[in-house]
Homo-oligomer: A and B are copies of this chain.
Amino acid sequence: MNGLANEQILISRPAIPLTMFELIRRDGLARIGKLDTPHGQLETPALLPVVNPRLVTVPPREMHDTFGFRALITNSYIIRNDAKLNARAIEVGLHEMLDFPGVIMTDSGTFQSHMYGEVEVKNEDIVSFQRDIGTDIGTVLDIFTEPDWSKERTAGAVDVTMERTIEATNLKGNMLLAGVVQGSIYEDLREDCARRLALLNVDVHPIGGVVPLMEQYRFAELVDVIVASKKGLDPSRPVHLFGAGHPMVFALATLLGCDMFDSASYAKFARDDRFMFPEGTASLEDMKGIHCHCPACRSHTYEEIKAMGPADRASLIARHNLWVSMEEVQRIRRAVLEGDLWELVERRCRAHPALLSALRRLGKHKEYLERFEPLSRDNSLLYTGPETLDRPALLRYEKRFFERYKYPDTEVMVAFEESGKPYAKRYQKEMGDVMETCDAHFFVASPIGPVPIELDEMYPIAQSLFPDPPDLETKERIKEQMEHLSHEHPYALGVAWDGQATIDTLEMMCQKEPSFNIDLARVRAVSDYQFGKDAADLLLDGEIEIRKSENTGKVRNVLVNGEHILSMRANDGFFTLRPPGAARLKNGFHAPRLRVTVKDDSVPFNREGKNVFCTFVSDCDPEVRPMDEVMVVDKDDNLVALGRALLTRDEMFSFRTGIAVKVREGIKL
């Protein structure tokens, strides 16, 4: 642990203004961002094709102008060791040498040390060389930690990587510096390495040493490695998955918060006559036909491609591989925007059982993933298999239901069957044991969890689709939840429907019992679910008036003692807070609950309805999730504005640019 002392010295220095990475859009850990570089802004997620400076398969200019790649990666070690390239790179700079107007990242020779055991260059020299040839993002000469290394050896190597990274921060100049997370398959070492790197003046974080895992299809371990690294890293810096070049893994890696990828595979695979697709690789020999209309393939028949010389064929297939990879990155970008990245990942992970194993591994990390899970999404939640049950959206519902849901105050709705027909009755709690009616039901058993009718319009309940019949895993989950429920809520004993009843049936039945106020029950249940236990009591103390939409019959506005406290959103069934409602919650819940505290110089702007920017946040409820309704307050806890948080607390503190809270309504003095 030699490096630690040095690290601490460096950390105590005043922070140097760092590069800006701005979040444009996010879905969980996945994000669309913009990274400032000396050669302009790079949009992420981004794939950087690897250009071998000695063997150019697709010219960088073509990558930029025709394919639309805005960044590439090349190897500074190869350039430095080649007398001619070295001289030229120093003379005209990397961009002119490669004829590429976009962002250029360079690797340092680390991968060569993995391949050949050793490299003959010092960290100091290769970092300075990268800076001197004008690379935009240069990389530390980190130690490639192999998956078969012992923990001790790995820890030692991580320390060396740390020392070298510190050294590099003092040499980088205007170049962005890539500080690589190492630590092999040891999750604690990865997280620790990431945490130490987060304190350094580094701009981009590649996750390194993962190529062997990908080559050996150890994708489940790759999931562990990415998650461990993400846990330690500074969320405001882009994460690059080093050597991830197969479109098969882009969606999964993006879901876990990787922002950049690089691909040498497009050219390597092409030399072996292998076509890449998001659903896997196909060799020309096996394919027996071309089914691709990418610009490279379209004008050729299968027979023509087979008859080409090896160089022409490799050149065509490399372009195919680039087109397909580019299209997949764009598809993923669209999924982040549309809110169906989980569905895309679950489909992509059917490309190979090893990817399906990786998908299952996400279940191990669902508590962590839930911290970034948005309150709701525009898109429906579509079930694709047992792995869907581990989605953070379902974990969220299950937890909040069991922690926050309360029975309607004065009565219990019981639905039951008699001679095969469903009925509903209402009982006073004071009646005690009403369970003589042994077929009594109150909840609909669903794969999401036990659903009381009051919550049936709320995300993800109304926005989920499951296949019929359910699989064993789903049946088992329903059974467990209902057992748990009957333990937690003895009134609901014997709750599980036999699958015949639907939420519609129940609602219809309740309408036959007009004294049960389903609307009030809904307002109460959603309030507690969204804002926390007892929120409904705080919000609804007084004379309640519920206004409904004339078109849809759904709850729209809630007034208490004549004050408009809540509005219900039609799309996700959650509330937006109105100032009187916020005042009630603020009085009942102590800071920092449901709050984002802003610095004094931000207050006047937010009172005008302007958004809260990250730099002005001084505190935030650690329980806030993306898209949560929050109160913006000043340092004395005065209400300044209402809006929706786009970031978690850690993210608000970490980002130096971008919006923390999208303000809907400023509270003027």
Contact = CB atoms under 8 A, between A and B. Distances in A.
Contacts of A383: 353, 356
Interface string A377-406: 011001111100000000000000000000
Interface stretch (A139-147, A288-296, A557-565): A288-296
Contact of A347 (B279, B357, B378): B279
Contact of A293 (B323, B351, B354, B476): B323
B289 A333 contact: yes
A467 B360 contact: yes
Interface string A417-439: 00000000000000000000000
A327 interface: yes
A288 B330 CA distance: 11
A379 to B, nearest CB: 8
Given A279-B347, A386-B471, A471-B473, A352 B289 contact: no
B291 A293 contact: no
A61 to B, nearest CB: 19
Nearest to A358: B467
Interface of A: 220, 279, 282, 286-295, 298, 323, 326-327, 330-331, 333-334, 337-338, 343-344, 346-347, 350-354, 356-357, 360, 378-379, 382-386, 465-469, 471-473, 476
Which 5 pairs across A and B sit closest by C-beta, in order of nearness? A291-B330, A356-B467, A288-B337, A357-B467, A385-B385
Contacts of A291: 327, 330-331, 333-334
B386 A386 contact: yes
A338 B282 contact: yes
Contacts of A343: 350
A62 to B, nearest CB: 15
A346 B385 CA distance: 11
Contact of A385 (B290, B293, B333, B350): B350
A17 to B, nearest CB: 32
A386 B388 CA distance: 13
Most chain B beta-carbon neighbours within 10 Å: one of A298, A351, A379, A467:
A467
Contacts of A286: 338, 378-379
Nearest to A337: B288
A337 B289 contact: yes
20 contacts: A279-B347, A282-B334, A287-B337, A287-B338, A289-B333, A290-B330, A291-B333, A292-B327, A293-B327, A347-B351, A350-B384, A352-B382, A353-B384, A353-B467, A356-B385, A357-B469, A360-B467, A386-B386, A386-B471, A471-B472
A537 to B, nearest CB: 38
B384 A356 contact: yes
A347 to B, nearest CB: 5
